[in-house]
Structures are given as structure tokens and as C-alpha cells.
Structure 1
């Protein structure tokens, strides 16, 4: 959370300042892993943070990772020589232990820390997930990740990240131009069309209000969500209630985000970096057949509401899920397309489900229902929208950054 961002970084900055100053200039594209030997990475270091454990697994890049075991400290990858560069960020997620449904990624430049993207690590398909594009005018920067959920659900993971200059992308980002991985791509044009609408759902409505229930047995997520999202105002208000009745509220106006804790009359405020729309293919394979999934960050920063309002992870499931359209139905007064598919080995192991079925709104690409089942038909996870309204207008006061008078401000300022 914002209250812990500065503590883990500034306590270790001096330790690595000499190392960073001696490093060669940023070379346009670079990988940074979690290996304990910083000498392997002349442009980056991974100081870690309290509450993060070092581990290994068969799904990891280079056989190692870090995972959050306690608290909300941010895990950082520190880079040198990126001044004046517009860069893009991809993160590698292929470990079944990474089950955080609300991980947040940050950039830190000098004393400024901004959120640059949200990602559901629990449902992200295995491979590289694109987070976003940013411009950095500094001699160094850090990329960070932590559990943004309160209380955190699942385990936040940190594996290798891939940072590269947009200007160098054409020369360094090698695609599968020979078509060696083409068999893994979606062939059904109807699935392709539906998938694209889901990936760009935020283009197909001005505002949306609703409620839904979300439950995943593998990470204990069990929440009721009330949301108001305005894409035209780049703002959102989301109220999350867990099975114990605890409430957390997330509010964003596109420039700042605020997390409110009514149970303790406290709040935290954080800065949000500008969101840019990605250019080019939204999914492809490298020349070694590693999948790359290009997420589009929601300008409204709707957090957990994006499971419904911008269902990109579930759209990517259609690529490797042997998905097929099985019919059309009416749900909540809307016409929906029904899609069924099988999980690949990675998601099946992680989610404890063999198959999925989803109901997607034809007009917008919004997800209205999702069910994942085990081999015996037992439900492993579900999302059920119980009410939804599109383009009815919103009250901008819902997105105000003013916490109630007398509440405790938990935000710590960088020093």
C-alpha cells in the first residue's frame, strides 16, 4: 500500500547507489531477475524488501522468484541509465504460487512514486504480461510491485521483468514471424471478434454501475463489489465487502487514487501515472514461442471492478483454452454470448479447475458471469453480476478525493 512504499525503498537506496552509479548506460532493452548475484545484471539490482521470501520453481524464469509473505512492502527492481527514455514494461508470471488478484505495479523516479498499472496475477495466463508505457527523465528509476488489496488476498509474486525503450522495440522485440507458434493462436473468427471486444470493453460504454460477487477457492477471495465507473471522466468508485463484512473503498480520478478503510476511519492516497493505450498486437509469441499478453490499463483505475468492466485476463484465456461459442442467451436484460473452454495445464493447476464457462455482453464486451469447474463438476471459482446499468450518467462527487473529516491519514511522504 501507499503507506509502505517509501519505507522499503529509501532504507536500501544508499546501499545500491554506488553500484548504480558505476553501471553502464541503459541499452534499450533489458531483463532484470531475482537472482541474488547482482553482478549478473550490470543495469539493475533487486534489493528485495521486508516480508518478501526468495524461492524457486519450475515455472520461474531462471529458476527463482520472490513472493510476498507478510505486510504491504513493495518489492523493487532498480535500474540505471534510463534518462529521457519512453519505456514499456512486461512482467513474467508463470508460477502457480502467484495468486494475488489485485497486484499494483509502480515506477519510482527520485522521490516520486506513481502507480503505473494493476494486474490480477491469479488469473493472468502464463507468460509475459504487458503493464504499460511510461516516460522517465532521470538517471535511474525503480519498478515496484505489492499487494494492493486490503486485506491482501492470495500471494503477490515477483519474477523477471522486461524493460525496453519504445524506440528500440522494433530491433529487440523479436516476434514469431515464421509462424512456428501459429497453432497456439485462435482460429475461429467469431472468438477473435469476441476476444477483441473484451480487450477493449472500456471503449464501448461511457459509464457503468453495478454489483457482483466474486469467489476463487484457490486464494480465498470472496467479495461483494459495488462499483461506479466513468470512462469519460477517467474515474471510478468501488466498494468491496468481504465475507466477514469488512469494507474497503477505492476511489480514483485518473490522477490520484485513494483507499478508504471505514472500519478503522483511515485512508491512504497515492499518485497515478498517465495511462497510454498500447499500439500493435495485443497478443503474440516471441521467436522462442513465449506468449506475450498486452494489457490495456484502464484510465478509470477501477481495480477489482475491472474483472467485469475490463475483463482482459479472461479474454486472453480464449487463446489457449480451446474455446468455443456455445450459444446466445439473455442475462440481466442483455444479450450475451456464451463461451466454453478448457484451461491449459498452468491455469488448471493454479485455479484448481479443468473448464470454464463465461457469459459476455454482446454490446460492450463486459463480463456478466463466469464459472470454473473441476473434473467432477464442482465449482472452483465464479463471478456473478447481479445488477448492471450502462450510460445512465454518474455523479462526479462519487470520485472526490476528500476523505471524511477526522479520519487518520496513513499516507507516508517520501523523504
Structure 2
């Protein structure tokens, strides 16, 4: 039943998600049927190596009696599974915490055979470890994966097709000793022929067990590795001949550099775009068969070089996808390596981090090469590791909404939004259009009013200075230097609570800056005021669910306005839509028994489009006849010196 639970939960290592499922082991069903019926299974005699080229084709014949026996065995297995179902769901059987950690892991392959019906390796492994491998929750409580590989003098060939589900069938056979039977590794016949994997081969089962907690990048807190060498004879696929293999000319060079390297906050990973110069055929459909790729990631920290621990899996597979961009030039985009910022911080690696991506590229297509056709390019890079105090996880959805609304500037980089607003105590509707880039400090805002068709104000941030334009008075002035993006720790070092009440009962609100450099962002993109005003007392509001609004997934929140803030905005009830990913406010309606008191309504929004405000490309010629003001800011509606001050301090 542990296999059933594993299937239902989908709990298997991220590195093996892309591996296609292995075929059903017909031979296992057949063997069990012979055993139950007391029949002797006819043995199939392998062909001697020297007779391969003269061997007659094998003609498969239908065996009705075998099919009937297999059906009986399947019925028996299904009945056993249904009988055991209550055991799998009995109270107290669920996982309540991490499984016991381990200190050692040794492994050996005690049996190895090749099943020609499924064209798969069938292995039995024995492990000696203090891990609790036969625990009913081992499939989900441990990250168990494995790989079968062959290392030669000039290459390392990794077999795909290992069925991860077969790694969950461990049975304790002695003290700290476990056996796993029926480990299936499907072999691709085409891959086998291209790499000439025929005859007796020296192979290695590489067993990995992760344990402890998993972080957001899918990495386990700790892990153990074990190698189990074994020997197995692989037959030649039917209908194939060795002389069909035509090796490519060997590669003579391989150089590589990082065109782009960045840290993705969303993926918690380094994302590379690599460019290689080589005479390898990297965009060949069989690239993964012709060439093998390995990598190590090393950072330069306060204590010297630090090699980041990683279990390659699917990450290495991404290195087999290249696109030709020129003569002998190829590009690999989206090569992603998950990293744990906390782990790097322990090594003193924060902020701008320099490192090296060391590749091992092997040309396996040159069959019979006496020399090692390997290349070892070192790709140097530098990335800005985003420093944030954002929790990895939240205790509740309420905590997540509140935190993200107060710190939305940490969850997006560019935005383009159009929205309307009715301020507390006003009837007129203000219309904003904003586009901003928090990295370039370039932004533009337009503001109009429903009460005055001639009213029009604009704000431009050119990366250095913020300029405000009154189109009605044809006047402009400087609002000072742009505000750069900073982390929460830089703005409020040592502060853990942004909202607090002192011994006199007076509330204190700790606002972060406005790196959008436009005033209207405080009503929508950076909704700190609304969060401080409406959400501190969590027993006054609830999340009713999720919905789609303006193409974004939002939390639907309803609540009662606390008394002190209700007096300021003239409303005692509210509803709001908050973007789940960024904390941006997309809709707010606050009302009393006489109707709506204030509102914010987004009509269009685009987030994290890199083309938004990447450069200052605005046409400023319409403002040539404007008069420059010499006094302070124009007092743009919605800024700190405008009507917003009425309710900006809840």
C-alpha cells in the first residue's frame, strides 16, 4: 500500500519527474503465475556473442494459457490491494513529522538480470543503514532516488528509465539491513546501440536518500549517497546490427561563457543562459545520447571557495538542450540550479556573489577512442542574491496576505496598471495609469479627474530625478532624486514588527519607501496604507476564497473596519481582492449603511514584463513651453502632501 500512497501523493524527487515511466513488468506477473500454479517456466537460452550476426529472428507466439494465468494473478493482486486498503487509511498511520535521519548508508546489488520482454534491468539491492527504509511513510518522508551509470576511460554514460516507484519496496531483513527487490531500469534500444552498450558491462547503482525538511527549492536538509557496482550482460536489441552504428568525428574543442546569470526569487534558483563554441553537434535531436554533461557550482565566500552541494537529476538534463545561433555557436537558455540562500549565508555568501560553473562535457559519439574526448570549461559568473526577510512559508493565508501587502515591492520588478480611485470624503473619481521599473528607477504616471476634464497631471522618473508636470497650468518642477529599491532589512534593520502599540496605547506604523517613484502606487502597487488600516486585527476579516481578476489569481477578502480607522474613512465594512503572488491591491470597496465610502478598482495590469520602463524612451517635446517651478512639489493629488494624508496614518 505504500506504493499506492506514493502514486496518490506524487511524492518523488524533482530530479526524476521528467523520466518517462517504465513498462509494466510482464515477466514478474508471469513468474508469479508459474509459481502459484506449480508450473515450470521454460528457460530462454541466450545467444552466444559469436553467433549474434547469424542468429535467426525470434518469432513470438501467443500463449493463451499464459494470458489466462496472468489475468488470474492480476485479479489476485487487486483483491489483496482492496483487502489491505483499510490498513492504509487507519487512524494514526499518517506522517506526523520528519522520519529519522541517518548517519551512514552502504549498498550492494545482490542480484542483477535483464528482462527482454520489458527490455529492462531488474535489480535486487541490499542496503545497510540507520535510516528507517521500511517505514510506511518512507515514500514521502525520504527523498529516495537512484541512477544506473557506466564509467569508461573517456565517458560517463547514465541510463534513464529507472522506475522511482520500485525504490520504495524495502523490507527489513536484519538489524539495519534492508532489501529492495524488483528495481526496474528500462533501457532505450536506440540509446543502447548508439553507445554500443552490448555484452557484459560494469555498471554502478548510485543510491540517494534525502531526509529532514525540504525547502522551497525542493532540496532536502541532508542526504546520504551510496555506490553499488555490479556486472550485467545486455543483449543486442532485436533487428539491430552493430555495424549500423556510425560514430561522428570526434569533437576538438568546447568553450563556454555565461551570457546571462541571475537569481530568480520565484524559483529560488540561479538561472543561466549559456553560449558555447564547439564543433559538437549540440542541437542534434540525440544530443543527450551523443554527449554527456556534468557540472559543479562553486562560490567565492568569506572563507574561500565553497562548492555548493547539489544532486543533479533534471538539472543536468537541461544541459542537453541547445539551439544553434551561428557557425559552431550554440545557446542553452533557462539552465536552472536551485540554491538555498540560508545555506549560502552560513558561508558568508550574500549580496553580489561571484562563482564558477565548472562543466564536464564528454563526446561519447567517438566509439573506440583511445584518448578521453572530454572538455572542462569553467564558466565564471556574478549574481545579485536578493536579500529578503520574506518567510519561506507562512503560518496562515492571513499572514501571507498581510505580509505581502506590506512588502509588495519585494515580489515584483515591473508593472503597468490602470485603476480608478474614490478617496474617503470625496465624490470625484481619480483615474491613474502607471508604468514603473523598480530596478531602473524609470516610471511614468498620468492622473485625471472625473470632476474636471481639464485637470491632468503627470509624473516622470528618468532614473535619476522625479519630475512632476501640471498640464493644466503648463508648469513642471523637480520632486527630488529617485528612490532606489532597498530590502526590508536595509530600511528597517532589526525591526520584526512593522505595526505595534506602545505602553500608552498609541499605534506605530513603519512604512517602507516608494521605489516606484510615482505617488499613485501607494493606492494599488504598494498598498501599505490599506494593509495597516484594515488588516492588523485578524479576527475582523476572513479570506472567503480565491478568484480570477484582471488575469491574476487573487484572495477574496471581506471584513469589518476597526473603529479607529472607520472614523477616518467613513466605512465600517470592506471587500478587497489581493494578488496572491505579489500582494498588489486589485480591488477595494469600503462602505457603510449609506453606500460606498471609498474604492480602488484596477481595470488592467501587467506584472514583470522586462520591457516596461527598461529605458527612458518618452517623448518630452510636448512640454517644451512649460514653465519650471522654483518652489516645492506641485502637490500632486494622492501624494503625501495631497488628500491622501487624510487617511494615510490609520
Structure 1 residues 291 and 398, CA gap change in structure 2 (3 angstroms):
farther
After the TM superposition, which residues 11-410 of structure 1 pair with which residues of structure 2 at under 5 Å, given as runs?
A: 189-220=396-427, 222-243=429-450, 244-245=452-453, 246-253=455-462, 255-272=464-481, 277-279=491-493, 280=495, 281-316=497-532, 317-320=534-537, 322-376=540-594, 378-392=595-609, 393-395=611-613, 396-397=615-616, 404-410=623-629
How far 1:404 sits from its partner (Å)? 2.1
Greater Cα radius of gyration, structure 1 or 2: 2
Give SS of 2:472's match: coil
1:253 and 1:345 mapped to 2: Cα distance? 42
Give SS of 1:319's match: coil
Query: Which blocks of at least 5 consecutive residues in structure 1 are unaligned?
Result: 1-186
**What is the root-mean-square deviation of aligned Cα atoms in Å?**
2.5
Provide, for residues 255-301 of structure 1, a one-character-per-residue CA deviation record: whole Å limited to 9, x for no partner: 42211012232211132375652231212222333221111111222
Give SS of 2:404's match: helix
Give SS of 1:296's match: coil
* Matched-pair contact (CA < 8 Å) for 1:267–1:411: no
Structure 1 residues 297 and 239, CA gap change in structure 2 (3 angstroms):
same
TM norm structure 1: 0.51
Runs of 4+ in 1 over 3 A off after TM superposition: 272-276, 398-403
Provide, for residues 162-204 of structure 1, a one-character-per-residue CA deviation record: whole Å limited to 9, x for no partner: xxxxxxxxxxxxxxxxxxxxxxxxx983212111111111111
Structure 1 residues 194 and 398, CA gap change in structure 2 (3 angstroms):
farther
2:475 and 2:483 mapped to 1: Cα distance? 26
* Matched-pair contact (CA < 8 Å) for 2:412–2:608: yes
* Matched-pair contact (CA < 8 Å) for 1:235–1:399: no
1:190 and 1:203 mapped to 2: Cα distance? 18
Query: Which blocks of at least 5 consecutive residues in structure 2 are unaligned?
Result: 1-393, 485-489, 633-650
Give SS of 2:468's match: strand
How far 1:346 sits from its partner (Å)? 2.3
Give SS of 2:536's match: helix
Provide, for residues 20-60 of structure 1, a one-character-per-residue CA deviation record: whole Å limited to 9, x for no partner: xxxxxxxxxxxxxxxxxxxxxxxxxxxxxxxxxxxxxxxxx
How far 1:334 sits from its partner (Å)? 0.9
1:264 and 1:202 mapped to 2: Cα distance? 33
In structure 1, the residue matched to 2:82 is none
Structure 1 residues 333 and 273, CA gap change in structure 2 (3 angstroms):
closer
How far 1:305 sits from its partner (Å)? 2.5
1:402 and 1:293 mapped to 2: Cα distance? 42
TM norm structure 2: 0.33
Structure 1 residues 230 and 338, CA gap change in structure 2 (3 angstroms):
same
1:301 and 1:400 mapped to 2: Cα distance? 19
2:612 and 2:507 mapped to 1: Cα distance? 38
